[in-house]
A and B are shown apart, each in its own frame.
Chain A
Amino acid sequence: MLRYLLGVTRLDKIRNEQMRGTVKVEQFGDKAREARLRWFGHNHNVWHNASVYNKPFVESFEETPLLVAVLTYMGYGILTLFGYLRDFLRDWNFEKCHVAKERDEQKDFVPLYQDFENFYTRNLYMRIRDNWNRPICSVPGARMDVMERVTHDYNWTFKHTGTVLFDVINMGSYNYLGFAENSGLCANAAVEAAMKYGLGVCGTRHEIGNLDKHEELEKLVARFLGVESSMVFGMGFATNSMNIPTLAGKGCLILSDELNHASLVLGARLSGSTIRVFKHNNMQSLEKLLRDAIVHGQPRTHRPWKKILILVEGIYSMEGSIVRLPEVIALKKKYKAYLYLDEAHSIGALGPGGRGVVDYFGLDPCDVDIMMGTFTKSFGAAGGYIGGNKELIDYLRTHSHSAIYATSMSPPVAQQIITSMKCIMGEDGTTLGQERLCQLSKNTTYFRRRLQEMGFIIYGNNDSPVVPLMLYMPAKIGAFGREMLKRNIGTVVVGFPATPIIESRARFCVSAAHTKEMLDTALNAISEVGDLLQLKYSRHAWPSDEETNHFSYLDSHQD
């Protein structure tokens, strides 16, 4: 808040934009600027009703510069042409084919894969495959040890050289609060639990797999979230895919954000409900769907919908955007829909108390009907939860696919969550949890701000610890990942199909475990690689004097 009171120029500008958005005043010369910027890109912030937010909600998705877009398409074009050429050479045995082959006995079966299915994998992904699945052999903490791999056949096979790249700065793991640790309170508690309970459970919650640890955890989760009751599950992905079908069915409508995670999409599909998709975080689109759905009812029969369920995520893991929760809740109330909020990335990572987006916006958790989240990220464990009122959880206890058919959570994993959650809540009698939350928030602001100042195009909300940096061109995906690892920094790069075809990106996950030195080392390396690969696409001017740098790191989170 301090920043805003003092009035830093950039923020003034943003506030002006915000104002303009709310009162809908066309800025003089907008047209001319647009024409000029079409070739070089421009920044664009979407503002809706700012009145429901208690703090500035700054989210930017700078448009892809047209020149870059054209070059990116050309890149894919060239890769595709070469792909066909290589396929042709492989077909005629000019080039050795490394693809695993069907058994001779089954050659006359219907082919297991369509030829085109694997074209992308074979010819595009394979070239840069070394950037994914890098094996590590340490805690996935702020620094990690990466096992070195070499390939002698252009990524078709890898060999481990036996050497280890020690202390690589980890900008890839979802270790937001730094609870991925092999010593300290959490690890010790987990060791004890493993000693006492063993590792597995060998049963489902319904069939003698309901440990006292699970019940303890569920009570704690409910208290942490501020809801009546909660239930935990052994896998985050399955929490979505196996519980949404319990909540919606035939005759129900599911409204899903276009960028929702695969698990939500799968859950919605398995439920048998009608699914309609609204534009990412776009409230007009959501409201239109809601209105139309209620007014027109079900297709063909025109019967009213039994219920409408809105599926949104807290932080979108590929965009770094934060859901416009106050607006979603207003809409949900107005149209009597139910809200399913997936806090996989936001729980622990947002809000002054680490309680996710609801906490971040200062809202009442009871306004969200289904609070879902995972323990994989901020808590350094595994699994997922659903929180809500008692009726909901009782129903899940009796009807959740996961509770009846899937083995329950491993006891040391449950213990890790209990200890880390208590630490966040300050119930361990220390302020360590609070310090971690502050550190994460500081690190996020600092890291995002510095990258923007360097001239990169950074997507997402200013407060989101998920930081996507746009690469666009397919060749730069591989180059960026490799160059960063050369500089001893582990990053995640993603391209199609995880992102739209031209919006390939690198993604950093800021952690509370990162020190300023680590972030600076990483930032310097990113800047260096950015210059090398010409990644500083942004045409948006950010103030970049030393003073503001210093200022933003120290004071930005005194609000």
Chain B
Amino acid sequence: MIQTTKMASGQQWVLVEMVQAFYEAPAYHLILEGILILWIIRLLFSKTYKLQERSDLTEKEKEELIEEWQPEPLVPAVSNDHPSLNYDVVTGPPSHKITVNGKECINFASFNFLGLLDNERVKQKALASLKKYGVGTCGPRGFYGTFDVHLELEERLAKFMKTEEAIIYSYGFATIASAIPAYSKRGDIVFVDEAACFSIQKGLQASRSFIKYFKHNDMEDLERLLKEQELEDQKNPRKARVTRRFIVVEGLYMNTSDICPLPELVKLKYKYKVRIFLEESMSFGVLGEHGRGVTEHFGVSIDDIDLISANMENAVASIGGFCCGRSFVIDHQRLSGQGYCFSASLPPMLASAAIEALNIMEEDPEIFTILREKCKHAHKALQDIPGLKVVGEAFAPALHLQLEHSTGSRESDVRTLRSIIDYCLDRQIALTQARYLDKEERFLPPPSIRVVVTVEQTEEEIEKATSCIREAALARLE
């Protein structure tokens, strides 16, 4: 109590003294202090730079800049002799016999593996559908673009693949390219084979996830990346709990014609808890006893693969693509698959054609054995062509023939291969080069001739084609 009064009186005394000093101080002192205080306030509130110093452009200067700016042309000029500017023209159906640039040839170029493109049954079914539904669907699936044939096809595909659910897309390319970004988002991690085809690359780009490429079919390299990721995860377990991971591989690789080591991939899947997306455009309707693809080929349970995607434009010889798997996974695409939600649905006649193709495949699984035999035959016959090497598995229906020794420049390699193709075209064998966008591909495959084997080709025709290629190679590659 006493202390507080003392303190209070002490403070009072200081205050009185201050006021007294203020009175007594000379005027110049007060003025100086006042100026100093104002200066401090000014320093506190003024900006660090002067507004006048900012070089704002005047309207006139802006106009000048706009006047000056010259954009690049919309597209660079393409020279008239660009190798891919003038397409080969096909008149009539691109089936077993094909007319290329007015010349009738045996088709070794179209992915019509099972010869269903001009199958009479498929055509009749499609025509019936056309006469019932017309051509287009005039809307996306959500808005009266769902037809009973779409539902039937989805059901049939699911049954064929022995999965819970299937979803169809109206464009093969858009299938995997829409499916990947439906699941994998920014911050997620995708492990991809270097040889992955272009539509996978585009899907990955759209997903904005972290992409880690492993060497083609190199499981050790994949495991190295997975281990690296595991260490990373241990450092930041909170982030790891929400980071989805995926492995994206192809069944039969479009670009290399070899098969992915699926059993090892499944082992890695469970070891590192990564989901597997499998793109089977080349293997669906080709591999396995019933044409179910790589899973059947290796005897891997289809439930171990989280998502299988394939197009119906190769073996099925229609248009469009599908994804299949468990409902838990697939159903999500019905609201999140961009190519599914925002695009018009598949024309019903093409869905009907696909259904009939499935019927044929189910009725006669022998067809896959025949295809495999023919592939083996072609693969063997193509060995030891001087200057050319065969790339791909013996059972792959679309093989690549690459130059054994590159001339050094891609351009001249392409020209050499084209001359071989022209030589064969003149002798009624239709072949084509595998085409890529050189600047867009992540890992550009070497130039190659594609040789496609179908069930319709006879042994003699395969013999003829291979000997023709051999002659061409001898003639064109010194």
Contacts and interface: CB of A to CB of B under 8 A. Distances in A.
A525 interface: no
A200 B117 contact: yes
Given A109-B273, A202-B94, A305 B339 contact: no
Interface in B146-162: 146-148, 150-151
Contacts of B242: 110-111, 114
B98 A182 contact: no
Given A235-B170, A236-B344, A395-B78, A376 B127 contact: no
B58 to A, nearest CB: 11
Contact of A406 (B76, B172, B353): B172
Interface in A169-205: 170, 172-175, 179-183, 186-187, 190-191, 194-205
B174 interface: yes
A140 B134 contact: yes
Given A199-B122, A199-B350, A381-B135, A406 B75 contact: no
Q: How large, as a class, is the contact surface on chain B?
A: 35 or more
Given A108-B273, A199-B126, A209 B110 contact: yes
B444 interface: no
Scoring A146, A305, A394, A410 by chain B CB atoms within 10 A of each residue's CB, the highest score goes to: A410
B84 A269 contact: no
A66 B75 CA distance: 49
B347 interface: yes
B467 interface: no
A147 B144 CA distance: 11
Contact of A338 (B71, B87, B347): B71
A405 B75 CA distance: 20
A19 interface: no
Interface stretch (A67-75, A95-103, A516-524): A95-103
Scoring A144, A146, A208, A215 by chain B CB atoms within 10 A of each residue's CB, the highest score goes to: A208
Contacts of A121: 335
B260 to A, nearest CB: 20
Nearest to B311: A407
B91 A212 contact: yes
B171 A201 contact: no
A141 B66 contact: no
Given A196-B93, A203-B94, A180 B134 contact: yes
A190 B135 contact: yes
A384 B133 CA distance: 21
Contacts of B379: none
Contact of B123 (A135, A195, A215, A379): A195
A190 B111 CA distance: 23
B65 to A, nearest CB: 5
Scoring B107, B134, B313, B328 by chain A CB atoms within 10 A of each residue's CB, the highest score goes to: B134
Contacts of B274: 109
Nearest to A211: B90
Given A194-B126, A207-B435, A211-B91, A405 B199 contact: yes
A406 B202 CA distance: 12
A344 B68 CA distance: 35
A266 interface: yes
A211 B90 CA distance: 5
Given A180-B136, A270-B205, A135 B147 contact: yes
Contact of A134 (B65, B93, B146): B146
Contact of B170 (A132, A208, A304, A382): A382
Contact of B135 (A173, A246, A401, A416): A416
B214 interface: no
Nearest to A374: B344
Interface string B331-344: 11011001101111
B342 A413 contact: no
B22 interface: no
Contacts of A198: 93, 95, 117-119, 122-123, 317
A138 B98 contact: no
A181 B112 CA distance: 30
A234 B71 contact: no
A196 to B, nearest CB: 7
Interface in A13-47: none
A304 B134 CA distance: 51
Contacts of A336: 69-71
Contacts of A105: 270
B29 interface: no
B328 to A, nearest CB: 4
Contacts of B91: 211-212
A274 to B, nearest CB: 14
Contacts, number: 356
A200 B356 CA distance: 13
B327 interface: yes
A212 B313 contact: no
B443 to A, nearest CB: 15
B147 A235 contact: no
B144 A492 contact: yes
Contact of A199 (B72, B123, B344): B123
B1 interface: no
A191 B62 contact: no
B75 A247 contact: yes
A174 B139 CA distance: 6
A174 B130 contact: no
A294 interface: yes
Nearest to A248: B74
A401 B202 contact: yes
A144 B144 contact: yes
Interface in B270-322: 270, 273-275, 303, 311, 313-314, 316-319
B170 A137 contact: no
Given A191-B130, A202-B317, A215-B89, A137 B147 contact: yes
A401 B198 contact: yes
A172 to B, nearest CB: 5
B338 A194 contact: no
A262 B326 contact: no
A133 B142 contact: yes
A306 B93 contact: no
A490 interface: yes
Interface in B333-373: 334-335, 338-339, 341-344, 346-347, 349-350, 353
A199 B243 contact: no
A113 B5 CA distance: 70
A237 B320 CA distance: 13
Contact of A404 (B72, B95, B338, B437): B437
A238 interface: yes
A367 to B, nearest CB: 13
B353 A199 contact: yes
B218 interface: no
A294 B65 contact: yes
Interface of A: 100-103, 105-106, 108-114, 121, 125, 132-141, 144, 146-147, 170, 172-175, 179-183, 186-187, 190-191, 194-212, 215, 234-238, 241-242, 246-247, 261-263, 266, 269-270, 291, 294-295, 304-308, 335-338, 369-370, 374-377, 379-382, 391-392, 394-399, 401-402, 404-407, 410-413, 416, 490, 492
Give 8 closest A-B pairs by Cβ, nearest first. A395-B75, A235-B171, A210-B87, A237-B343, A376-B344, A173-B138, A202-B110, A406-B173
Given A182-B133, A307-B72, 11 more contacts: A100-B326, A112-B183, A133-B142, A199-B318, A200-B117, A200-B319, A210-B89, A237-B171, A237-B174, A407-B311, A416-B135
21 contacts: A102-B328, A108-B273, A113-B332, A140-B133, A140-B144, A182-B130, A198-B122, A199-B349, A199-B353, A201-B313, A202-B112, A211-B89, A211-B91, A234-B319, A262-B342, A269-B206, A294-B69, A295-B57, A382-B135, A382-B136, A396-B75
Interface of B: 57, 62, 65-66, 69-78, 82, 84-85, 87-95, 98, 100, 107, 109-112, 117-119, 122-123, 126-127, 130-139, 141-148, 150-151, 170-174, 183, 197-199, 202, 205-206, 240-245, 270, 273-275, 303, 311, 313-314, 316-319, 326-329, 331-332, 334-335, 338-339, 341-344, 346-347, 349-350, 353, 430, 432-437, 440, 450
